Chain A
């Protein structure tokens, strides 16, 4: 998406008249940015601030507060491994360890080819399928260490 297209999307969003206050469009606007750009950068925040007629700092505050918004570059696919209690009790730490090994990166990093970002994540409400992970919007439940290469390959992983 180009910046101009993004500005158009925000105008469309505001035209939907969903909220009685312009500032309420901040999170929906950030969501559009999160889904269409590698990161929410300064220019994006400036566009949101201008369109919603709010101070830039308020956009920045919101962008940095929420865990699902990335103000640093992220990969095409975000792997979120839940390590909260039920997943931890069912082996989540092993899953994280194995993914670090397979991808050759630490938690919070992105693979050099820009494909995957690895995140340790809080409970995603998938605890009946612990240990659980998601790749973008897809869920993987009761994940076993041995299944990880298969899962990664689905998203274009070239490793072995």
Chain B
């Protein structure tokens, strides 16, 4: 398929404004400012069917419509560049190789929603991306794409980077806003949603990097064209970061709905040393596991939900036959225990107990009853305050269900069958 989102990244110096402009960059912004009203832009994005790429899959046009309808001033447009989901590195590619696509997408979104100020919430672990974005923002100011009266119109927009400092929870949009306000990253209750009461309780649009990179494309070629790519009920190109035990780990751009099997075996080159595929987490660390028999599933929001898991960030994590499923689940829940903000009990306690129980099973000291306890903790965690706790137990509970034999083997033999010593 023609590369759309990644159309620029193989060009030399793709991160500079000269290269971006030479490829027609900022043409969509020009078109929007000269020919379209904010309502037209919202309509075009709604027509495209674009759904957010940050994990939740919320329709972008609808979000923008809500924000545009709010009359409180000023409004803020925030790009979520926190990219903290384990094994997700797709936004990094856009940030480092095509930062102007992101800035142009933000500008168009800000125009559509009436936002005067913008922030890119960038994870602290992307210092290289920070330098590239700083430079890109400076270039955009210099050329008159940012600042007062952009391209001679009434539209003004200032853009800044806000650096995170190592907290996965700050990717959750309300925790992100708390963090921008200078606080610990603890989620807020929803509603009210950020579009009505976000940063400093003013209307705030939060969109993911990849979501925004789609926007110039939609304006250039039309929402209708876009809506015909990939899956009908959630169209468009999608970036899939693939890692773990594949021969060619990397970010692959494919239409929404590409079968998981094709991504792993054709694009990512199959399993290392031609071993057997054992298990896949198809949508980041909080997705439920799929077994080797389940990988014909199309990679889009509804299909994966139907398969009992989720698309999330689209991060595909591949395990081969030599990998221990208990150890993998343990490592993921350790991550969530570390990142739990501690605000609510089901998540703070649940992640901690899951770590303890999984660790004793992995060390050969578990009992069969532990498996029932895991599933019951998992059920309780569904009632957590935010998405972190609500999903953190998925890799654990799903592996207990689908790889029960392997858990039992640890318990019965008193050791991990995959450890040599």
* Chain A residues within CB distance 8 Å of chain B: 18-21, 23-28, 30-31, 34, 52, 54, 58, 61-62, 65-69, 83-86, 88-90, 122-130, 134, 137, 139
Contacts and interface: CB of A to CB of B under 8 A. Distances in A.
A18 B184 CA distance: 20
Contact of B89 (A27, A125, A137): A125
Contacts of A84: 86-87, 285, 331, 335
The 8 residue pairs across chains A and B that have the minimum distance between CB atoms: A26-B182, A67-B166, A66-B165, A68-B166, A127-B243, A86-B243, A23-B182, A123-B86
Contacts of B140: none
A52 B84 CA distance: 29
B407 interface: no
Contacts of B241: 127-128
B162 interface: yes
A110 B92 CA distance: 30
A125 B92 contact: yes
Q: Chain B CB within 10 Å — which of A20, A30, A122 has the most?
A: A122
B127 interface: yes
Contact of A89 (B183, B245, B335, B339): B245
Contacts of B123: 125
Nearest to B327: A88
A137 B163 CA distance: 14
Nearest to A22: B182
A99 to B, nearest CB: 19
B168 interface: yes
A125 B182 contact: no
A126 B89 contact: yes
Interface in B57-76: 74
B21 interface: no
Contacts of A62: 182-184
A21 B117 CA distance: 13
Nearest to B323: A89
A27 B332 contact: no
A13 to B, nearest CB: 12
B128 A137 contact: yes
A28 B83 CA distance: 19
B151 interface: no
